[in-house]
Amino acid sequence: MPIQRIQPGKRLSAAVVHGDTIYLAGQIAGDASADVKGQTQQILKKIDDLLAAAGSNKSKLLSATIWLADMRYFEDMNSVWDAWMDSANPPARATVEARLERVGCLDGPREPACPRYRRGEAGRAQVLRRDRGRRREVSETRGQPLRPPVPQPATRWR
């Protein structure tokens, strides 16, 4: 099965097509001086362009993970997302607060690779992440542990 790389760079490709599946790399806004709505619009335009280059569109998205520098921006980001999203075909989605790699970035949708999600008791997604070999649950809205870390057996990676 052939592999098509879209906008390949030194470290990564902006998108990779393998069979009927398109993988998008994390996207950030080109103008970090814009507010969260402006940055979200820039990012979603990049995603539209990448999907078009791969012969697809947003109605076929399966999953999205959105990383926000601060959950205060959640409603602003959501207003742009809601206007952009194909309401007849919404993807599964999670929004996570995290420190972002570039100063000034307020948000950035990325492929759901490392974090795993499950539904919380209150119906919100919760992030399960490794913390020095222990698993802990972190709330989507504040990044605070929901309960004390659960001791986990040591895992050896090969």
The shares of helix, strand and coil residues in the chain, as percent rounded to the nearest 5, are: 20, 30, 45
**Count of positions (residues) in the chain:** 158
Candidates 17, 15, 14, 13; CA nearest to 3 is 17
pLDDT in tens, 28-82: 888 888 999 999 999 999 999 999 999 999 999 999 999 888 899 999 999 999 9
Domain with residues 26-113, CATH architecture: 2-Layer Sandwich (3.30)
Least reliable range by pLDDT among 5-14, 52-61, 129-138? 129-138
**What is the distance in angstroms between the CA of the first residue and the CA of the last residue of the chain?**
28
**CA dist., res. 40 & res. 121, Å (int):** 29
